[in-house]
Structure 1
């Protein structure tokens, strides 16, 4: 019985150590921010990617009523407008392939990613987060959903970044 107690205690300590490590990895970034594009912002020189969404690329165009419109620029402008609302607070738990923090960011309590998807200027990405916001935008034919568009991931695949 004594060996079992020692093993159980060791397991509990290992789980606690892993939890402490995970919690200590979270980054907190706060300050005035500028929009880099529709799903990336910059706080004091650190580019931060909004987690759970994908916005059109800056040069990407979409179509509405038979005419092209600069949906990538529109997404960036909408994020810039939202950022003007005050101090941005971001919590990042991991990084993307470009080593940018992937974060949940808010301004005055408003989730910026949810706002972008709800306005139809970004799509829900990798997971179930923001699916209801996307459904709302789609039903209202808001932003990207007012016409036709290529999903940002598909656009990037067809237009890879240069070296």
Structure 2
């Protein structure tokens, strides 16, 4: 049995959870805040960068990064935020879940389609993203490039206008049936000429895929779209 002095040493050596950071927030971009001089990166979400452009439902370019930042600033308004730290990233920013009046702001950004779930680091908001995608909210109404890919290409000095989350058949040409996953997790396929075919986009990161025939889709557990 450990002696009391040993137990005391162990308790003192155990790191305590960081205290919440509370105060008025300044929005830096769609996933970054400044609260009382502390730079905070929203946990589990990734928003388009400030200089990033996307295409809307009509195929017109717009500044989706700026749109995300303005939406977050407007939503927070003059309310104080409470950020619960999770970790510190390699840039020295506190990674946290932030709330305003008990509302999860990280989730709100994804729900409105102003950010995507940052699967590389967490899967907390994957289901929220799937709902936003199904409802065509925000960036999901058109086409956009994954923010992390945009940053990578920007650092490399390459082009960053290629839409990433669009239908991109991974099978030979002729495989044109789109397998889509609904907000409720239902697997539905759309054939060319069907009602929602043109606006349906395949996101392979979410497990969606292309099929070469209806028989192939059915065999994989997908059903035909209704209507």
Mark yes or no: TM-score above 0.5.
yes
Q: CA deviation at 1:44?
A: 2.2
What pairs up with 1:58-137 in 2 under 5 angstroms? 58-64=50-56, 65-84=58-77, 86-125=79-118, 126-137=121-132
Give the Cα separation in 2 of the matches to 1:51 and 1:106.
Answer: 12
CA-to-aligned-CA distance 1:81-104 (integer Å, 9 cap, x gap) = 122151111111311111010011
Task: Name the structure where helix makes up a greater proportion of residues.
Answer: 1
Structure 1 length-normalised TM: 0.85
Following the alignment from structure 2 to structure 1, what is the Cα–Cα distance between the partners of residues 123 and 87? 18
Q: Which structure is higher in RCO with an 8 Å CA cutoff and minimum separation 6? A: 1
Please say which structure displays the higher CA radius of gyration: 2
> Aligned pair in 2 of structure 1 residues 161, 45: CA closer, same or farther (>3 Å)?
farther
For normalisation by structure 2, the TM-score amounts to 0.62
Q: How many residues in Structure 1 have an aligned counterpart in Structure 2?
A: 153
2:15 to 18, 21, 24: 21
**Conserved 8 A contact 1:83-1:107:** yes
| Distance in 1 separating the partners of 2:90 and 2:48 | 18
CA displacement, residues 96-134 of structure 1 (integer Å, 9 cap, x when unaligned): 111010011100011010000000010101221011110
Structure 2: segments with no counterpart, 5+ residues: 158-227
